Amino acid sequence: MSMAQTADIGVRPADEATAEPSILLEARGLTRRFGGLVACRDVDLRIPAGGIVSIIGPNGAGKTTFFNVVAGIMDPSGGTVVFRGRTLITMPRRTWLEPIFWVLPAAIALLVTYLLGAFNGEESSTAVGMLVVIAVLATTLLTAIIRPRWYSRLMDRFGILRSARPNDVVAAGIGRTFQNIRLFQNMTALENVLVGMHLKLRSNLGDHLISSPRQRTDEEAAARRASELLALVGLQGIENELAKNLPYGDQRRLELARALANDPVLLLLDEPTAGMNPNETSEMTALIGRLRSDLGVSVLLIEHDMRVVMGISDHILVLDHGERIAEGTPEEVRKNQRVIEAYLGTGAS
Protein backbone atom coordinates (compact mmCIF):
# COMPACT_ATOMS: atom_id res chain seq x y z
CA MET A 1 0.00 0.00 0.00
CA SER A 2 3.01 2.28 0.05
CA MET A 3 2.51 5.37 -1.99
CA ALA A 4 5.88 6.83 -1.20
CA GLN A 5 7.12 6.96 -4.76
CA THR A 6 6.83 10.64 -5.31
CA ALA A 7 8.95 11.09 -8.35
CA ASP A 8 6.53 9.62 -10.82
CA ILE A 9 3.27 10.70 -9.34
CA GLY A 10 1.56 13.14 -11.61
CA VAL A 11 2.97 16.58 -11.01
CA ARG A 12 1.99 18.28 -14.22
CA PRO A 13 -1.46 19.75 -14.63
CA ALA A 14 -1.97 17.49 -17.63
CA ASP A 15 -1.62 14.33 -15.56
CA GLU A 16 -4.21 15.31 -13.07
CA ALA A 17 -7.36 14.45 -14.94
CA THR A 18 -7.33 11.21 -12.98
CA ALA A 19 -8.24 13.03 -9.77
CA GLU A 20 -11.92 12.61 -9.05
CA PRO A 21 -13.84 15.86 -9.29
CA SER A 22 -15.40 15.42 -5.88
CA ILE A 23 -12.01 15.17 -4.20
CA LEU A 24 -10.95 18.65 -3.17
CA LEU A 25 -7.54 17.98 -1.75
CA GLU A 26 -5.45 14.90 -2.02
CA ALA A 27 -2.18 14.37 -0.20
CA ARG A 28 -0.13 11.50 -1.53
CA GLY A 29 2.72 10.03 0.47
CA LEU A 30 3.47 13.29 2.20
CA THR A 31 6.73 13.05 4.11
CA ARG A 32 8.68 15.60 6.07
CA ARG A 33 12.01 14.98 7.76
CA PHE A 34 13.82 17.20 10.22
CA GLY A 35 17.33 15.83 10.06
CA GLY A 36 16.97 12.27 11.30
CA LEU A 37 13.51 12.77 12.70
CA VAL A 38 10.66 11.88 10.44
CA ALA A 39 7.85 14.15 11.59
CA CYS A 40 5.47 12.92 8.95
CA ARG A 41 5.86 9.70 6.98
CA ASP A 42 3.88 8.70 3.90
CA VAL A 43 0.67 10.36 4.95
CA ASP A 44 -2.17 10.02 2.47
CA LEU A 45 -5.30 12.02 2.89
CA ARG A 46 -8.32 12.81 0.78
CA ILE A 47 -10.70 15.59 1.56
CA PRO A 48 -13.98 15.41 -0.35
CA ALA A 49 -15.66 18.66 -1.34
CA GLY A 50 -17.83 19.83 1.52
CA GLY A 51 -16.34 17.40 4.00
CA ILE A 52 -14.98 17.92 7.47
CA VAL A 53 -11.89 15.82 8.04
CA SER A 54 -10.03 15.70 11.33
CA ILE A 55 -6.48 14.75 12.14
CA ILE A 56 -5.96 13.53 15.66
CA GLY A 57 -3.06 12.02 17.47
CA PRO A 58 -0.96 12.36 20.60
CA ASN A 59 1.40 15.29 21.04
CA GLY A 60 4.30 15.19 18.61
CA ALA A 61 2.41 13.00 16.18
CA GLY A 62 3.19 15.31 13.26
CA LYS A 63 -0.19 16.92 12.87
CA THR A 64 1.03 20.51 12.75
CA THR A 65 3.92 19.53 10.50
CA PHE A 66 1.43 18.04 8.08
CA PHE A 67 -0.53 21.28 8.22
CA ASN A 68 2.50 23.43 7.63
CA VAL A 69 3.49 21.38 4.63
CA VAL A 70 0.01 21.61 3.15
CA ALA A 71 -0.07 25.36 3.80
CA GLY A 72 3.23 25.85 1.99
CA ILE A 73 5.13 27.04 5.04
CA MET A 74 7.65 24.22 4.73
CA ASP A 75 8.62 22.11 1.76
CA PRO A 76 7.87 18.39 1.93
CA SER A 77 10.70 15.87 1.87
CA GLY A 78 8.54 13.71 -0.35
CA GLY A 79 5.06 13.40 -1.71
CA THR A 80 2.63 15.82 -3.26
CA VAL A 81 -0.53 17.69 -2.45
CA VAL A 82 -3.03 18.09 -5.25
CA PHE A 83 -5.68 20.72 -4.69
CA ARG A 84 -8.59 21.03 -7.11
CA GLY A 85 -6.68 19.14 -9.74
CA ARG A 86 -3.57 21.29 -9.48
CA THR A 87 -0.35 20.12 -7.89
CA LEU A 88 0.28 22.66 -5.21
CA ILE A 89 2.85 21.18 -2.92
CA THR A 90 5.66 19.00 -4.12
CA MET A 91 9.23 18.20 -3.34
CA PRO A 92 11.52 20.67 -5.12
CA ARG A 93 12.89 18.98 -8.20
CA ARG A 94 15.86 19.77 -10.40
CA THR A 95 16.35 23.07 -8.67
CA TRP A 96 20.08 22.77 -9.33
CA LEU A 97 19.23 23.51 -12.96
CA GLU A 98 17.67 26.84 -12.12
CA PRO A 99 20.88 28.91 -11.76
CA ILE A 100 21.59 28.13 -15.41
CA PHE A 101 18.49 30.09 -16.33
CA TRP A 102 19.61 32.93 -14.10
CA VAL A 103 22.89 33.47 -15.91
CA LEU A 104 21.70 32.49 -19.38
CA PRO A 105 20.15 35.87 -20.33
CA ALA A 106 23.21 37.70 -19.03
CA ALA A 107 25.48 35.38 -21.02
CA ILE A 108 23.44 36.02 -24.16
CA ALA A 109 23.59 39.76 -23.48
CA LEU A 110 27.34 39.50 -23.06
CA LEU A 111 27.66 37.67 -26.36
CA VAL A 112 25.43 40.14 -28.19
CA THR A 113 27.22 43.19 -26.84
CA TYR A 114 30.55 41.56 -27.68
CA LEU A 115 29.44 40.89 -31.25
CA LEU A 116 28.20 44.46 -31.50
CA GLY A 117 31.71 45.57 -30.62
CA ALA A 118 31.25 46.75 -27.09
CA PHE A 119 34.57 45.41 -25.87
CA ASN A 120 36.79 46.82 -28.59
CA GLY A 121 38.98 48.68 -26.14
CA GLU A 122 37.13 51.95 -26.04
CA GLU A 123 36.29 52.84 -22.52
CA SER A 124 32.80 54.23 -23.01
CA SER A 125 31.58 51.30 -25.07
CA THR A 126 33.02 48.83 -22.55
CA ALA A 127 31.15 50.64 -19.78
CA VAL A 128 27.90 50.53 -21.74
CA GLY A 129 28.37 46.82 -22.46
CA MET A 130 29.06 46.06 -18.83
CA LEU A 131 26.06 48.05 -17.73
CA VAL A 132 23.76 46.19 -20.10
CA VAL A 133 25.04 42.80 -18.92
CA ILE A 134 24.74 43.74 -15.25
CA ALA A 135 21.25 45.13 -15.78
CA VAL A 136 20.13 41.92 -17.51
CA LEU A 137 21.61 39.81 -14.73
CA ALA A 138 19.98 41.90 -12.01
CA THR A 139 16.61 41.77 -13.76
CA THR A 140 16.79 38.00 -14.13
CA LEU A 141 17.73 37.47 -10.50
CA LEU A 142 14.97 39.79 -9.39
CA THR A 143 12.46 37.86 -11.49
CA ALA A 144 13.66 34.64 -9.91
CA ILE A 145 13.23 36.13 -6.45
CA ILE A 146 9.77 37.53 -7.12
CA ARG A 147 8.83 34.36 -9.01
CA PRO A 148 5.81 35.57 -11.00
CA ARG A 149 3.48 32.93 -12.35
CA TRP A 150 4.85 32.96 -15.90
CA TYR A 151 8.29 32.29 -14.49
CA SER A 152 7.02 29.25 -12.57
CA ARG A 153 5.34 27.97 -15.74
CA LEU A 154 8.51 28.45 -17.75
CA MET A 155 10.54 26.54 -15.17
CA ASP A 156 7.85 23.87 -15.09
CA ARG A 157 8.36 23.31 -18.78
CA PHE A 158 11.96 22.33 -18.07
CA GLY A 159 10.92 20.05 -15.23
CA ILE A 160 12.11 22.42 -12.53
CA LEU A 161 9.55 22.30 -9.77
CA ARG A 162 9.24 24.29 -6.61
CA SER A 163 6.55 24.00 -4.00
CA ALA A 164 3.94 26.74 -3.76
CA ARG A 165 4.65 29.51 -1.29
CA PRO A 166 2.16 30.24 1.51
CA ASN A 167 0.60 33.11 -0.41
CA ASP A 168 0.19 30.92 -3.50
CA VAL A 169 -1.59 28.35 -1.36
CA VAL A 170 -3.94 31.05 -0.13
CA ALA A 171 -4.51 32.21 -3.69
CA ALA A 172 -5.43 28.65 -4.65
CA GLY A 173 -8.21 28.77 -2.07
CA ILE A 174 -6.89 27.39 1.20
CA GLY A 175 -7.20 29.45 4.37
CA ARG A 176 -5.68 28.57 7.70
CA THR A 177 -5.56 29.46 11.36
CA PHE A 178 -2.69 28.86 13.74
CA GLN A 179 -2.39 26.77 16.86
CA ASN A 180 -0.88 29.65 18.81
CA ILE A 181 -2.99 32.58 17.65
CA ARG A 182 -1.10 34.74 15.19
CA LEU A 183 -3.22 37.81 14.73
CA PHE A 184 -1.77 41.16 13.76
CA GLN A 185 -1.79 42.27 17.35
CA ASN A 186 -1.52 46.01 16.86
CA MET A 187 -4.05 46.28 14.09
CA THR A 188 -7.77 46.57 14.65
CA ALA A 189 -10.12 43.63 14.21
CA LEU A 190 -11.43 45.14 10.97
CA GLU A 191 -7.92 45.66 9.61
CA ASN A 192 -7.04 42.08 10.45
CA VAL A 193 -9.90 40.86 8.31
CA LEU A 194 -9.02 43.35 5.58
CA VAL A 195 -5.50 41.92 5.42
CA GLY A 196 -7.10 38.52 5.00
CA MET A 197 -8.95 40.01 2.05
CA HIS A 198 -5.68 41.13 0.46
CA LEU A 199 -5.96 38.90 -2.58
CA LYS A 200 -9.60 39.79 -3.15
CA LEU A 201 -8.81 43.46 -3.69
CA ARG A 202 -7.80 44.22 -7.22
CA SER A 203 -6.49 47.77 -6.88
CA ASN A 204 -2.81 48.20 -7.72
CA LEU A 205 -0.08 50.66 -6.84
CA GLY A 206 -1.30 53.19 -9.41
CA ASP A 207 -4.80 53.07 -7.93
CA HIS A 208 -3.39 53.65 -4.46
CA LEU A 209 -1.37 56.65 -5.56
CA ILE A 210 -4.07 58.47 -7.48
CA SER A 211 -6.82 57.21 -5.15
CA SER A 212 -8.83 56.07 -8.14
CA PRO A 213 -12.59 55.35 -8.05
CA ARG A 214 -11.79 51.64 -8.29
CA GLN A 215 -9.65 51.89 -5.18
CA ARG A 216 -12.40 53.66 -3.26
CA THR A 217 -15.23 51.31 -4.24
CA ASP A 218 -12.90 48.37 -3.58
CA GLU A 219 -12.11 49.61 -0.09
CA GLU A 220 -15.71 50.36 0.78
CA ALA A 221 -16.90 46.96 -0.41
CA ALA A 222 -14.05 45.30 1.48
CA ALA A 223 -14.91 47.08 4.71
CA ARG A 224 -18.56 46.04 4.34
CA ARG A 225 -17.62 42.43 3.66
CA ALA A 226 -15.19 42.43 6.59
CA SER A 227 -17.94 43.64 8.94
CA GLU A 228 -20.20 40.87 7.62
CA LEU A 229 -17.53 38.28 8.30
CA LEU A 230 -17.01 39.60 11.81
CA ALA A 231 -20.74 39.34 12.37
CA LEU A 232 -20.70 35.80 10.98
CA VAL A 233 -18.24 34.64 13.63
CA GLY A 234 -20.15 36.58 16.29
CA LEU A 235 -17.90 39.61 16.69
CA GLN A 236 -20.21 42.53 15.94
CA GLY A 237 -19.25 45.94 17.18
CA ILE A 238 -15.59 45.33 17.90
CA GLU A 239 -14.33 46.49 14.50
CA ASN A 240 -12.08 49.16 15.93
CA GLU A 241 -10.66 47.23 18.85
CA LEU A 242 -7.00 46.29 18.64
CA ALA A 243 -6.68 42.55 18.14
CA LYS A 244 -4.50 42.09 21.20
CA ASN A 245 -7.08 43.72 23.44
CA LEU A 246 -9.72 41.13 22.58
CA PRO A 247 -10.48 38.31 24.97
CA TYR A 248 -8.96 34.97 24.09
CA GLY A 249 -12.06 33.34 22.64
CA ASP A 250 -12.70 36.38 20.44
CA GLN A 251 -9.12 36.26 19.17
CA ARG A 252 -9.76 32.71 17.98
CA ARG A 253 -12.93 33.83 16.24
CA LEU A 254 -11.17 36.80 14.71
CA GLU A 255 -8.49 34.53 13.31
CA LEU A 256 -11.24 32.41 11.80
CA ALA A 257 -12.87 35.48 10.25
CA ARG A 258 -9.50 36.51 8.82
CA ALA A 259 -8.99 33.06 7.32
CA LEU A 260 -12.45 33.24 5.77
CA ALA A 261 -11.86 36.67 4.26
CA ASN A 262 -10.24 35.30 1.13
CA ASP A 263 -13.30 33.11 0.42
CA PRO A 264 -11.38 29.86 0.81
CA VAL A 265 -12.70 26.55 -0.46
CA LEU A 266 -10.83 24.68 2.23
CA LEU A 267 -10.08 25.81 5.76
CA LEU A 268 -7.20 24.40 7.75
CA LEU A 269 -8.01 24.85 11.42
CA ASP A 270 -5.20 24.08 13.84
CA GLU A 271 -6.82 23.35 17.21
CA PRO A 272 -9.59 25.94 16.93
CA THR A 273 -10.88 25.24 20.42
CA ALA A 274 -7.57 25.03 22.28
CA GLY A 275 -7.78 26.83 25.58
CA MET A 276 -11.52 27.43 25.39
CA ASN A 277 -14.05 26.64 28.07
CA PRO A 278 -16.76 24.04 27.32
CA ASN A 279 -19.25 26.75 26.47
CA GLU A 280 -16.97 28.47 23.98
CA THR A 281 -15.97 25.09 22.60
CA SER A 282 -19.52 24.12 21.75
CA GLU A 283 -20.10 27.53 20.19
CA MET A 284 -17.01 27.11 18.06
CA THR A 285 -18.07 23.62 17.03
CA ALA A 286 -21.46 24.93 15.97
CA LEU A 287 -19.75 27.72 14.06
CA ILE A 288 -17.56 25.28 12.15
CA GLY A 289 -20.61 23.25 11.27
CA ARG A 290 -22.33 26.40 10.09
CA LEU A 291 -19.39 27.33 7.88
CA ARG A 292 -19.87 24.12 5.97
CA SER A 293 -23.62 24.37 5.65
CA ASP A 294 -23.81 28.11 4.91
CA LEU A 295 -20.61 28.83 3.01
CA GLY A 296 -19.91 25.38 1.63
CA VAL A 297 -16.39 25.43 3.03
CA SER A 298 -14.57 22.16 3.53
CA VAL A 299 -12.59 21.87 6.73
CA LEU A 300 -9.43 20.07 7.74
CA LEU A 301 -9.20 20.10 11.48
CA ILE A 302 -6.55 19.32 14.04
CA GLU A 303 -8.11 18.88 17.42
CA HIS A 304 -7.51 17.36 20.82
CA ASP A 305 -11.00 17.72 22.15
CA MET A 306 -12.71 14.45 21.27
CA ARG A 307 -16.19 15.88 21.68
CA VAL A 308 -15.45 18.35 18.89
CA VAL A 309 -13.81 15.76 16.68
CA MET A 310 -16.41 13.07 17.11
CA GLY A 311 -19.23 15.57 16.85
CA ILE A 312 -18.53 17.17 13.49
CA SER A 313 -16.05 15.10 11.51
CA ASP A 314 -17.05 12.95 8.55
CA HIS A 315 -13.71 11.30 8.47
CA ILE A 316 -10.82 11.01 10.91
CA LEU A 317 -7.14 10.38 10.33
CA VAL A 318 -5.12 9.25 13.31
CA LEU A 319 -1.39 9.93 13.33
CA ASP A 320 1.20 8.68 15.75
CA HIS A 321 4.93 9.30 15.45
CA GLY A 322 4.34 10.76 12.02
CA GLU A 323 2.60 7.67 10.66
CA ARG A 324 -0.98 6.96 9.87
CA ILE A 325 -2.27 4.37 12.30
CA ALA A 326 -5.97 4.49 11.55
CA GLU A 327 -8.47 6.16 9.34
CA GLY A 328 -12.21 6.12 8.97
CA THR A 329 -15.46 7.45 10.29
CA PRO A 330 -15.64 8.54 13.94
CA GLU A 331 -17.28 5.23 14.87
CA GLU A 332 -14.55 3.13 13.29
CA VAL A 333 -11.76 5.17 14.81
CA ARG A 334 -13.29 5.05 18.26
CA LYS A 335 -13.23 1.25 18.21
CA ASN A 336 -9.81 0.89 16.60
CA GLN A 337 -7.41 -1.01 18.81
CA ARG A 338 -4.27 0.80 17.65
CA VAL A 339 -5.80 4.19 18.37
CA ILE A 340 -6.65 3.18 21.88
CA GLU A 341 -3.12 1.92 22.35
CA ALA A 342 -1.60 5.10 21.00
CA TYR A 343 -3.63 7.25 23.34
CA LEU A 344 -3.65 5.11 26.44
CA GLY A 345 -0.63 2.87 26.02
CA THR A 346 -0.48 -0.85 25.38
CA GLY A 347 -2.46 -3.05 27.68
CA ALA A 348 -4.86 -0.29 28.52
CA SER A 349 -7.91 -1.83 26.94
Partner 1 sequence: MSAVLQRPAQSSRGPGLRARLSAFSTRHRSISVIVGMAITAAVLPLIVLLPPFSSFSGQSIWIDGFTIAGIYVLLALGLNIVVGLSGLLDLGYAAFFAIGAYTYAFAASPFTGNEFPFWPMLLVGAVMAAIFGILLGAPTLRLRGDYLAIVTLGFGEIVPIVILNSSKYTDGPNGIGGITPPSIGDFLFPTTGNPWPFYLTMLALITLSMILIYRLQDSRLGRAWMAIREDELAAAANGVNTVTTKLLAFALGASTAGLAGVFLASKLQTVTPNLFRFDVSFTVLAMVVLGGMGNVWGVAIGAFIIFMIQSVFLKQLNLFFDNVHVPILSDVDFLQYQFLLYGIALVAMMLLRPEGLFPSRRRRRELHTEEDAEFGEHGDPMGAAPE
Q: Which residues bind partner 1 (CB under 8 A)?
A: 64, 68, 71, 73, 138, 141-142, 145-147, 165-167, 170-171, 175-176, 178-187, 191, 194-199, 201, 203, 205, 207-209, 211, 215, 218-219, 222, 242, 244-248, 251, 258-259, 261-262, 274-275
The residue type found at 193 is V
Nearer to partner 1, 179 or 227 (CB): 179
Minimum distance from CB of 118 to partner 1 (Å)? Answer: 18
Minimum distance from CB of 102 to partner 1 (Å)? Answer: 12
Nearer to partner 1, 23 or 274 (CB): 274
Nearer to partner 1, 13 or 247 (CB): 247
Minimum distance from CB of 165 to partner 1 (Å)? Answer: 7
Minimum distance from CB of 341 to partner 1 (Å)? Answer: 26
Nearer to partner 1, 23 or 74 (CB): 74
Minimum distance from CB of 247 to partner 1 (Å)? Answer: 6
Please write down the HEC assignment for all residues of the chain.
Answer: CCCCCCCCCCCCHHHHHHCCCCEEEEEEEEEEEECCEEEEEEEEEEEECCCEEEEECCCCCCHHHHHHHHCCCCCCCEEEEEECCEEEEECCECHHHHHHHHHHHHHHHHHHHHHCCCCCCCHHHHHHHHHHHHHHHHHHHHHHHHCCHHHHHHHHHCCCECCCCHHHHHHHCEEECCCCCCCCCCCEHHHHHHHHCHHHCCCCHHHHHHCCHHHHHHHHHHHHHHHHHHHHCCCCCCCCCEHHHCCHHHHHHHHHHHHHCCCCCEEEEECCCCCCCHHHHHHHHHHHHHHHHHHCCEEEEECCCHHHHHHHCCEEEEEECCEEEEEECHHHHHHCHHHHHHHHCCCCC
Minimum distance from CB of 204 to partner 1 (Å)? Answer: 9
Minimum distance from CB of 169 to partner 1 (Å)? Answer: 8
Sequence-separated contacts (24+) of 72-75 with Cβ below 8 Å: 72/163, 72/164, 72/165, 72/166, 72/167, 72/168, 72/169, 73/166, 74/32, 75/163
Nearer to partner 1, 9 or 141 (CB): 141
Minimum distance from CB of 39 to partner 1 (Å)? Answer: 12
Nearer to partner 1, 6 or 262 (CB): 262
Nearer to partner 1, 111 or 131 (CB): 131
Nearer to partner 1, 275 or 296 (CB): 275
